[in-house]
Amino acid sequence: MPAIITDQYRILNAETFVDSFVGIGTTGNNNYYTFLGHPNPKNTDVNNYGVSTWGSPIPNPVDAFNQENLYYDSMLFLKKVTSNDVRRVVPRLDWQTGTVYEMYRNNYSSTNLTPQTKSTSLYGSSYFVLNSEFSLYLCINNGSNSDNPTGQKSLFEPTHTNTVPQQAGNGSDGYLWKYLYTISPSDIVKFVTSVYIPLPKVWGDTASATIKATAVDGKIETVVIKNGGSGYNISDSTGTVLSTGTISSVPITGDGTGGTVSININSGVVESISGVIGGSGYTYASVRFESGTFGGKTLIPGTGAEFEVIIPPKGGHGFDIYRELGGFRVMLYSKFDNNVDDSPDYVLGNDFSRVGLVKNPIQFGGTDLLNNTTATNLSALKLKPDASSGFSTSNITYSPNALITQKVGVGSTAVGYVASWNPDTGILKYYQPVGFSTLSNYSYKKLDFVGLGTAISGGSPENLIVDTSFNNQSSIVVGGKNVSLGQTFNLGKASPDVKKYSGEIIYIDNRAPVTRTSSQKEEVKIVIEF
C-alpha cells in the first residue's frame, strides 16, 4: 500500500531529540558527549592499525556492531553537550539583490514543484532569507502575477522588525516580507555556518514573544493573481463606468471570516492586488470576482480572472517557527580548548581523525551516567627514571603514537600506543586499540599496564618505570605551580573517566588527521538531519 513518512514526523523527531537534552518529560535525564579520537589511523581494518595517515580516500564510517569497540578503543577525550549547545537549524540563504526568491505556499508537492529550486516540498524552496543583520524574513509574496507567475527579482533588502508583513525599499519589486527573529550574538558564534543558521532555542520566549503572540490562525496575508482576465469595469457612485480603477472590500470566501481584498483594474484587466485584510480562521479560501457592490463601487464583471489565496500554516505566520521553516535538523556545538591547566583531559601534540557523539556513557568503575564537563577515555601512568640512571623525565621522549610495552608476567606483555607524554609532569597517557592479538610477539590477550618496577619500553634515550609512590594524587607541583592532572593516580596509574563500551555511539565522522597544538582550538559542529 502506498505510504509516506511526512516532514512533520521528521520535525517531531528533531523536537524529541532536543528535548532529551533538557529533561522534558520521559525523554530527559540523558547525557550526550562529543568526542575526538583515532589518533593513529589507517583504515577500518583493526589489524592494520598504527600508521600516521588514512591515505586517500578517507574511509567511510562503518555502522556495525563489530566496529563499536574500535570507536571506543581509539577515543581520546570527551566534552559534554548541554542544552545551550543544541539548536535546531535550517539552511542558510543570504539575501542578495537581483535574486528571484520563492514565496511561502502550502501546496508544493511531488506533483507541484517549487518554481526556482524544483523541490518537491516547501522546505526545499528558497522562501526565507537572512539579511546582513542576521535577521530572518519569510517571503509572503515574491511579486508573482499572471505575467510573472514564478516571481520577480528582489531589489531591496528587508530590514524592518515590525510584526506585520511589510515591503522593503519602495516596494517596486512586489516583495512582501514577514520578520520572524534575529539571531542572538551568542548563537551566531556557536551555530551560524556558511550552510546553516539556528532557529531560536525556545520559540515564544522573551525575544520572540511578540511575534508568536500576534500570529492569527487562518489569517490570509497573500492573494496572487493567476489570470488577469479581460472586460472588467467599475461603476462609481455617479454611475460613471471606468475600465481602470480599484475596487475594494472584495470578500475572501471560505471557512474563515473577515477577509477582504482590494483589486486594481487597468484597461479591463485585473492588474494587481493593493491590499489584503486577512480575517481569521481560514483553512480554505477563494476570491470570486463577480458582479456586486464593494466599497461603494459596483463591479461590472468581465471574464477569465483567477486568484489563488495562500493559506498560512496552523496558528498563522510566526506561530510555530519549527513547523513553518522546517526544523528537522539539529546542530550540536562543542569547543575544545587547549589550556591544559583548565582542561587536563584534553590531549596535545597528537592527531585526531574522528569526531563522534555518544549518548549516556557510564562512569568508570560504577553504574552512574558520566556527568563530567570534560572527560578522558585514556589510562595514564606516572613515570620516573630508574634510581641509577641519572636521567630525569625532562630528558626522556615518548613520541606520539609510538608502540609501548611492559612485561607484566611470565610470557605476558602489555601493549599500547602513546597518546601523549608530558616530560614536566612525567604523565604518559596511552590507548589500546583492539587487534593486538595479531602482533605475533605478544600474547593473544589484551593486557593492561601495571604499577611494577618493570620499564615501559618506547622511551628515548631510555625507558622509564612506573612511579608507584605517586598514590592517591590528582595534581603535581611543577616549577612551583600546582598542576591538575584531571585523573586520580593510585600506585602510579590512573583509570579513564569513562567505562569503555558503555552508552550508545550515535554519530561518527572520519576526517583527515588534525594535529592538536597549544596554539589552536577546535570547534565541533555536528548537524543531524532527521
pLDDT in tens, 472-484: 999 999 888 998 9
pLDDT score recorded for residue 53: 67
Q: Does residue 24 carry a pLDDT above 50?
A: no
Q: Does residue 339 carry a pLDDT above 70?
A: no
Count helices and strands (H / E) in the chain: 5, 33
Report the range of poorest mean pLDDT among 53-67, 221-235, 399-413.
Answer: 53-67
* Overall size of the chain counted in residues: 530
pLDDT score recorded for residue 58: 85
Q: What's the mean pLDDT in 445-466?
A: 86
Contact by Cβ (8 Å): 530, 17: yes
Terminal-to-terminal C-alpha distance of the chain: 24
Q: What's the mean pLDDT in 364-372?
A: 93
Rounded Cα distance, 208 and 182, in Å: 9
Q: Does residue 26 carry a pLDDT above 60?
A: no
pLDDT score recorded for residue 13: 96
Phi, psi of 70 (to 5 degrees): -60, -45
Contact by Cβ (8 Å): 252, 280: no
Rounded Cα distance, 201 and 207, in Å: 11
Q: Does residue 449 carry a pLDDT above 80?
A: yes
121: DSSP letter: S
Please tell me which residue, 438 or 114, carries the higher pLDDT value. 114
Q: Which residues of 378-390 are buried (b: 16+ CB within 10 A; e: fewer)?
A: bbbbbbbbeeeee
Q: What's the mean pLDDT in 358-366?
A: 95
**Coil vs helix vs strand at 176:** strand
pLDDT in tens, 414-424: 888 899 999 99
Number of Cβ atoms within 10 Å of the Cβ of 97? 11
C-alpha cell at 194: 556558511
Q: Does residue 51 carry a pLDDT above 60?
A: no
Rounded Cα distance, 240 and 382, in Å: 101
pLDDT confidence tier of residue 68, bands split at 50, 70 and 90? confident
pLDDT confidence tier of residue 145, bands split at 50, 70 and 90? confident
Please tell me which residue, 429 or 46, carries the higher pLDDT value. 429
Architecture of domain 7-86+331-372+502-529: Sandwich (2.60)
Q: Where are the domains of the chain?
A: 7-86+331-372+502-529, 93-192+200-218+315-326, 222-310, 379-494
Average predicted confidence (pLDDT) for the chain: 90
Residue 188: HSE in the Cβ half-sphere, 13 Å Cα cutoff:
11
pTM of the model: 0.90
Integer CA distances (angstroms), 504 to 277, 331, 421, in order: 53, 18, 30
pLDDT score recorded for residue 440: 52
